[in-house]
């Protein structure tokens, strides 16, 4: 029904992932015209006509003036959570906002005091560090355990760290980024119980949650009645590849906290844009069948990539959700050097582990959300280069 091999033509259209000038600067290469960009976390797939055609009809109307968000925006989110997550959220919890990371930055600044300690589980998504440091907070990290090539938490250790560091907030990626690991219901309950005891605010970044590969994803939105100090931050940006439209939503059942954040966004004149809100509505109203097929395609691409990486010294952490593969390369002391030389010699561009917060030694991340044809050319070159590099 959908052809995921017929990918977007993204060269010279402003796409950061395919931008030759950006590639040349970041990877220290010359003539970036024929590279394999598998680094930035967006997709090369075309959106379905069920989304594109009504969006183009909306754009053709030519009305981009000041606007009020229509009720269908909220209804599409309520239905999406019910159909995709079996989660019954409430209309009054939903707050439309700008991009997810920008929204998180406002949240941290508004909800915490200068010098407060914010906890993350590492390795963690790199920009979380910027959100914390840029707002004058203290970043505290808990190094996750690695058992059978899967990250986990020792909750007694987490509880002790929370007590010792006087933690005021937890920023958690659900699913985890970079590994794509989904948190179980039992783990989420344990996290919430620890936070409830100390009145810790939880910010759960769930932008990868729609791309659940096997009924593993559990949303913190299911716990908004249990604990009022949870904020669930979500967006169609990863699922539908619309990060350039800067649209997200967050859920908050704490009326005082929600009102405070809405007022702060309004005070800073940070409002979602008209095209973004319409795109979100159409994605959630019409995009579910496409997402089902997308997930099947991502599974195929992951299986293909893992199979090609199945050589001695390389271990892959297969995600529960998403299109990003966290990969460990043995006998590499400087992963940044490996990434740069791989780009220079083989023209394959990967995300270095050092762009994440702590505990990333020897790791890199591969984005498989592209055509199988590209993966079949690029992945063997990674393996070939790795064998040459460690000689």
pLDDT of residue 209: 97
Same domain, 126 and 256: yes
Q: What's the mean pLDDT in 3-22?
A: 94
Residue 31 maps to a domain: yes
pLDDT at 33 over 80: no
Domain boundary among 234, 267, 287: 287
Helix (H), strand (E) at residue 296: helix 288-308
Q: What is the structure's pLDDT at 31? A: 79
pLDDT tier at 217, thresholds 50, 70, 90: very high
Is there a domain that residue 28 lies in?
yes
Q: How many domains does the chain have?
A: 2
Last residue within a domain, chosen from 239, 254, 287: 287
**Of the candidate ranges 26-40, 134-148, 331-345, the one whose mean pLDDT is the lowest:** 26-40
Give the number of other CB atoms < 10 A from CB of residue 157: 12
d(CA 211, CA 344): 32
Domain of 28, CATH number, reads 3.90.1150.10
Q: Is the peptide bond before 175 cis (omega within 30 degrees of 0)?
A: yes
7-16, 44-53, 158-167, 173-182: segment of lowest average pLDDT: 7-16
385 occurs within a structural domain: yes
Looking at the fold, whether 72 and 219 belong to one and the same domain comes out as yes
Mean pLDDT of 230-250: 97
Does residue 188 share a domain with residue 57? yes
The residue out of 287, 321, 346 marking a domain boundary is 287
Instruction: Say whether both 80 and 223 belong to one domain.
Output: yes
In a domain, 207, yes or no: yes
Task: Specify the pLDDT at position 215.
Answer: 87
| Listed residue (141, 130, 69, 136) closest to 101, CA to CA | 130
Do 236 and 111 reside in the same domain of the chain? yes
Specify if 10 maps to a domain: no
CB 368 within 8 A of CB 298: yes
Nearest alpha-carbon partner for 316 in 31, 1, 324: 324
Whole-angstrom distance, CA of residue 36 vs CA of residue 81: 35
- Look at residue 34 in the predicted model and tell me its pLDDT: 87
Q: Is the same domain home to 143 and 253? A: yes
> Using one digit for the tens of pLDDT, what is the confidence trace for 243-290?
999 999 999 999 999 999 999 999 999 999 999 999 999 999 999 999
Residues 166, 192 within the same domain:
yes
Give the span between the Cα atoms of 202 and 200, in whole angstroms. Answer: 6
* Domain presence at residue 246: yes
Cα–Cα distance, 337 to 318 (Å, whole number)? 24
User: 382 falls in which pLDDT band (50, 70, 90)?
Assistant: very high
Residues 168 and 127 in one domain: yes
Would you say residue 32 has pLDDT above 80?
no
Q: Specify whether 247 is located in the same domain as 328.
A: no
Name the token pair of 273. 């844009």
For residue 203, list its beta bridge partners. Answer: 171, 231
Candidates 158, 220, 156, 226; CA nearest to 183 is 220
Residue 11, in any domain of the structure: no
Q: Residue 236's pLDDT is what?
A: 97
CATH code for the domain of 139: 3.40.640.10
pLDDT tens profile 92-147: 999 999 999 999 999 999 999 999 999 999 999 999 999 999 999 999 999 999 99
Supply the range of the domain harboring residue 155.
Answer: 52-287
Same domain membership, residue 220 and residue 131:
yes
**Residue 292 has which token pair?**
């089902």
Instruction: Please give the average per-residue pLDDT across 306-334, as a whole number.
Output: 96
**Domain shared by 183 and 200, yes or no:** yes
Is residue 219 included in any domain, yes or no? yes
Claim to verify: residue 184 and residue 233 sit in the same structural domain: yes
By three-state DSSP, how is residue 205 classified?
strand
What count of Cα atoms within 13 Å lies in the side-chain half-sphere of residue 33? Answer: 1
Residue 148, burial from CB neighbour count under 10 angstroms (0-12, 13-18, 19+): exposed
> Do the Cβ atoms of 286 and 309 come closer than 8 Å?
no
Kindly report the pTM of this predicted structure. Answer: 0.96
- Residue 228 phi/psi, 5-degree rounding, is -80, -10
The distance from CA 236 to its chain's CA centroid, rounded to whole angstroms, is 10
Of 154, 170, 160, 161, the C-alpha closest to 227 is 170
């Amino acid at each position: 029904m959908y052809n995921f091999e017929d990918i977007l033509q993204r060269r010279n259209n402003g796409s950061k992932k395919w931008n030759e000038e950006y590639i040349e600067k970041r990877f220290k290469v010359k003539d970036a015209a024929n590279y394999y960009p598998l680094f930035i976390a967006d997709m090369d797939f075309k959106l379905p006509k069920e989304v594109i055609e009504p969006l183009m009809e909306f754009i053709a109307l030519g009305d981009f003036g000041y606007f009020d968000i229509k009720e269908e925006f909220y209804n599409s989110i309520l239905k999406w959570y019910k159909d995709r997550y079996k989660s019954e959220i409430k209309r009054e919890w939903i707050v439309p906002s700008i991009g997810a990371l920008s929204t998180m930055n406002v949240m941290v600044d508004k909800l915490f005091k200068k010098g407060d300690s914010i906890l993350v589980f590492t390795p963690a998504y790199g920009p979380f560090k910027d959100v914390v440091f840029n707002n004058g907070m203290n970043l505290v990290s808990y190094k996750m355990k690695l058992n059978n090539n899967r990250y986990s938490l020792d909750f007694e250790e987490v509880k002790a760290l929370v007590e010792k560091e006087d933690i005021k907030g937890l920023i958690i990626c659900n699913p985890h980024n970079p590994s794509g690991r989904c948190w179980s219901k039992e783990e989420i309950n344990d996290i919430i119980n620890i936070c409830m005891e100390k009145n810790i605010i939880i910010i759960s970044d769930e932008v990868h949650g729609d791309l659940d590969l096997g009924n593993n994803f559990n949303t913190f939105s299911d716990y908004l009645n249990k604990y009022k100090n949870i904020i669930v931050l979500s967006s169609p940006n990863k699922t539908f590849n619309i990060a350039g439209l800067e649209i997200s939503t967050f859920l908050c059942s704490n009326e005082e906290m929600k009102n405070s954040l809405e007022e702060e966004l309004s005070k800073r004149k940070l409002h979602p844009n008209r095209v973004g809100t319409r795109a979100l509505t159409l994605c959630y109203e019409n995009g579910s069948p496409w997402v089902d097929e997308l997930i099947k395609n991502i599974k195929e691409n992951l299986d293909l990539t893992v199979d090609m990486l199945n050589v001695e010294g390389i271990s892959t952490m297969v995600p529960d959700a998403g299109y990003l593969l966290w990969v460990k390369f043995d006998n590499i002391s400087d992963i940044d050097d490996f990434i740069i030389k791989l780009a220079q010699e083989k023209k394959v561009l990967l995300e270095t582990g050092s762009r994440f917060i702590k505990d990333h030694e020897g790791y890199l991340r591969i984005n498989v959300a592209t055509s199988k044809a590209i993966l079949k050319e690029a992945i063997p070159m990674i393996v070939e280069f790795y064998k040459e590099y460690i000689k």
